[in-house]
Amino acid sequence: MKLGIIGLPNSGKTTLFNVLTGRHVQTGTFTPADAEPNIGIVKVPDERLDKLAEMFRPKKVTPATVEYIDIAGLRREGGVKGELGKELLFHIRNVDALIHVVRTFRNDKVPPAGGDINPERDISTVNLELTLSDLDIVEKRMERVEINIKKKGEKEGIAELQLLTKLKQNLEAGIPIRQLELSEDEKKLIKGFQFLTAKPMLIVLNIGEEELKFPERYRDLKEKYQSLGIPVIELCAEIESQISQLGDKETEKAFMEDLGIKESGLTRLIRVSYELLGLISFLTAGKEEVRAWTIRKGTKAQQAAGVIHSDMEKGFIRAEVVSYEDLIKSGSLAAARNKGLLRLEGKDYIVQDGDVIEIRFNV
């Protein structure tokens, strides 16, 4: 899974990227829009792995991972057609979802890109850039399709042209593609274009240190976007950065309690991104390795096996499944089996989040 971090300059994208990935990319510097993006692999925090590791004492514990891409700043002026860095757009075209960082923190040393602090306006500015970029692609494609229809009388072209016209009208009205109701056929048609406004989006409000005490402050903004299917979470990248440098869990806990933070913003961010994309984890546990695997909700046992190894999918016989809770309650796999909590499931079983699974297969 790939997540692209976008937002105006000086909104805290690189700060957030560093905290997420434990890297030390320089912050506070202007990055030209065509700069190479920073890419980092992040382990998905999952307490269940720690508990399973206590039970199985494996040689290795492997969490699920997410890839984050810190893309250089979108221009403040935006909105001028054809002005967007092509490289920038290229780098966000192939991500699975967008994390849109919006600044509300005040910091006199770092001037806000929009001149002052105005999250609503900044969100619109960035969304407009994404919209114009999609519109550009739609219009170019329409020209092509129209030519083909005229010259060669292509039948398929007509359906596509209708769809493109619908996209164009909506984009011109400022409506992102993700908000449109499209048929399965239409979804298939547009898949290859990788439209930016079709990607799931999550807004991170990068709030100031002093705002942590006022979680209600941006309630209206949150409700507005959440009602459009865009989750909004608040965190203070600066504080998260300090938390991540504390080193040990106990100190972290005390520090967060002091500030009235229940859960680290990062854990929340990673969890919400998972939910946004409809992802869940199933687990495998043994003496060699305890590991989390990422699948989409609704994945069947046989396809889930394929995430581990293609041979397991091809030669799938059955899955032995116990829920994480049942396994922990039982104390061991053997105890779970004795209690009848270990189930045998066939290829069509729909894997649930936290299922601890062993695949039986033939090679």
Ligand X SMILES: Nc1nc2c(ncn2[C@@H]2O[C@H](COP(=O)(O)OP(=O)(O)O)[C@@H](O)[C@H]2O)c(=O)[nH]1
In this structure, are residues 353 and 281 in contact, taking their beta carbons and an 8 Å threshold?
yes
SS3 content of the chain, % helix, strand, coil (to 5): 45, 20, 35
The reply to whether 208 sits near ligand X by the rule CB under 6 A is: yes
The reply to whether 14 sits near Mg ion by the rule CB under 5 A is: yes
Task: Count Cβ atoms below 10 Å from residue 272 Cβ, excluding itself.
Answer: 16
Please say which residue, 14 or 323, places its beta carbon nearer to Mg ion: 14
C-alpha 175/C-alpha 181 separation (Å) is 12
Q: How far is the CB of 14 from Mg ion (least distance, A)?
A: 3
Which of Mg ion, ligand X, none does residue 107 bind (CB under 5 to 8 Å by kind)? ligand X
Which of ligand X, Mg ion, none does residue 125 bind (CB under 5 to 8 Å by kind)? none
Q: How far is the CB of 69 from Mg ion (least distance, A)?
A: 12
Q: How far is the CB of 15 from Mg ion (least distance, A)?
A: 8
**Three-class secondary structure of residue 233 per DSSP:** strand
C-alpha 267/C-alpha 63 separation (Å) is 14
Q: How far is the CB of 264 from ligand X (least distance, A)?
A: 14
Which of ligand X, Mg ion, none does residue 246 bind (CB under 5 to 8 Å by kind)? none
What is the footprint of ligand X within residues 328-347 (CB under 6 A)? Answer: none
Degrees, nearest 5: CA angle 100-102-108: 145
The reply to whether 129 sits near ligand X by the rule CB under 6 A is: no
The reply to whether 9 sits near ligand X by the rule CB under 6 A is: yes
Q: Which of 46, 129, 238, 355 binds ligand X (CB under 6 A)?
A: 238
Please say which residue, 204 or 277, places its beta carbon nearer to ligand X: 204
In this structure, are residues 118 and 8 in contact, taking their beta carbons and an 8 Å threshold?
no
Task: Count Cβ atoms below 10 Å from residue 166 Cβ, excluding itself.
Answer: 15
Task: Count Cβ atoms below 10 Å from residue 246 Cβ, excluding itself.
Answer: 14
The reply to whether 236 sits near ligand X by the rule CB under 6 A is: yes
Which of Mg ion, ligand X, none does residue 208 bind (CB under 5 to 8 Å by kind)? ligand X
Nearest of 108, 103, 102, 105 to residue 211 by alpha carbon: 105
Please say which residue, 61 or 212, places its beta carbon nearer to ligand X: 212
Q: How far is the CB of 305 from ligand X (least distance, A)?
A: 40
Which of ligand X, Mg ion, none does residue 10 bind (CB under 5 to 8 Å by kind)? ligand X
The reply to whether 27 sits near ligand X by the rule CB under 6 A is: yes
Nearest of 85, 82, 182 to residue 137 by alpha carbon: 82
The reply to whether 12 sits near ligand X by the rule CB under 6 A is: yes
In this structure, are residues 315 and 242 in contact, taking their beta carbons and an 8 Å threshold?
no
Nearest of 202, 223, 210 to residue 123 by alpha carbon: 202
DSSP 120: H
C-alpha 58/C-alpha 36 separation (Å) is 39
Q: How far is the CB of 210 from ligand X (least distance, A)?
A: 9
355, two tokens: 């299922």
Q: How far is the CB of 218 from ligand X (least distance, A)?
A: 14
Give the residues lining the site for ligand X (CB under 6 A). 7, 9-15, 27-28, 73, 105, 107, 110, 206, 208, 236-238
Give the residues lining the site for Mg ion (CB under 5 A). 13-14
